[in-house]
A = this chain, B = another copy of it.
Amino acid sequence: MVTFKVIILGNGSAVPTSFSNPSSQLLVHENKHFLIDCAEGTQMQLLKYRLKLAPINHIFISHLHGDHYYGLMGIVSTFHLYGRIKPLHIYAPKALEALINHHLEVSKTTLNYPLIFNPLEDFEGKDLYSDAVLRIRAFPLKHKLPTWGFRFCELERRPKIKKEFVGDHKPCIEAIRRIKDGADFETKEGELLKNEDITHAAPCPRSYAYCSDTAYHPPLTKYLKEVNLLYHEATFDNSMEEMAKEKFHSTAAQAAQLASDSQAGELLLGHFSARFKDPSILLQQAQAVFKSTYLTKEGNSYSVR
């Protein structure tokens, strides 16, 4: 099974505390590393958990509150100082591009690698990223500022042909293509071999979605349908529903309701308010609505199953 997991670098809300860092996570798919949000201290968190910076080629910023992007310039600079030459792709609200350039101007820095800026506003209904096995899309959340969620979807894979069959029957390239498309195979002796007997079924494509920051927003189910693993903010508990609404954040139970409505597989909670040194109350309240809910813990890794 191909590696598909998320490692939590920060799961706190607006201010860092002695027990949590603000939002950032590393999504790993096979050998590709994607950074999602980049609070102050993200590069230090990578060092702390012995995760490499160099393989990160794509950084996704959900919105322009500082607790989601203040660590970006540190990483941009560190790449430069370590002599990076390969491109870095940033997917973020348009206004961030001028801010990055403003920082580079005051320090009179010309990066020695291409920084390719992709404004999220330009990608409605389009893939932010795609390769042979994965595609990434953004979708709008409901927050004070324009904010995006991200969904990482594995693409449908074709079945693998069994080694013994290839050894025994030496099929030509055209026959291999047909078998991968689902055809049966007729041997030289005229025997019909059923497709399911000569292939290993392709693994079901999996997906991961990230929703932070957002008010409870039922229309999001459209983007989250049957997601295997959903990370959703859970800033507040049930007693703070009014405050959540006012501040365009969610309670843990609302995150769970959205997971349930979206027929998600599993739910990860994060973006905890600093008042929850022990967020177990959030877990209880969410599990009452959606059983397969987990609290994230900084440094922990969660597989997409």
Contacts and interface: CB of A to CB of B under 8 A. Distances in A.
Interface of A: 14-18, 21, 40-41, 43-44, 47-48, 64-67, 70-71, 73-74, 77-78, 81-82, 93, 95-96, 98-99, 102-103, 106-108, 144-145
Given A44-B44, A102-B99, A73 B74 contact: no
Contacts of A108: 144-145
Nearest to A21: B44
Contacts of A73: 40, 66, 70
A235 B119 CA distance: 38
B102 A96 contact: no
Nearest to A14: B81
Contacts of A74: 16, 40, 66, 70
A48 B48 CA distance: 14
Contacts of A70: 40, 70, 73-74, 77
Contact of A41 (B44, B66, B144): B44
Given A40-B41, A44-B40, A71-B40, A106 B64 contact: yes
Contacts of A78: 14-16
A64 B74 CA distance: 13
Contact of A107 (B18, B21, B66): B66
A92 B94 CA distance: 28
A38 to B, nearest CB: 11
Given A40-B70, A44-B44, A107-B145, 4 more contacts: A66-B74, A70-B73, A70-B74, A96-B106
A66 B21 CA distance: 20
A82 B48 contact: no
27 contacts: A14-B77, A14-B81, A15-B78, A15-B82, A16-B44, A16-B47, A18-B47, A18-B48, A40-B40, A40-B70, A40-B73, A41-B41, A64-B106, A64-B107, A65-B107, A66-B103, A66-B107, A67-B77, A70-B73, A70-B74, A70-B77, A93-B106, A95-B106, A96-B106, A99-B102, A99-B103, A107-B145
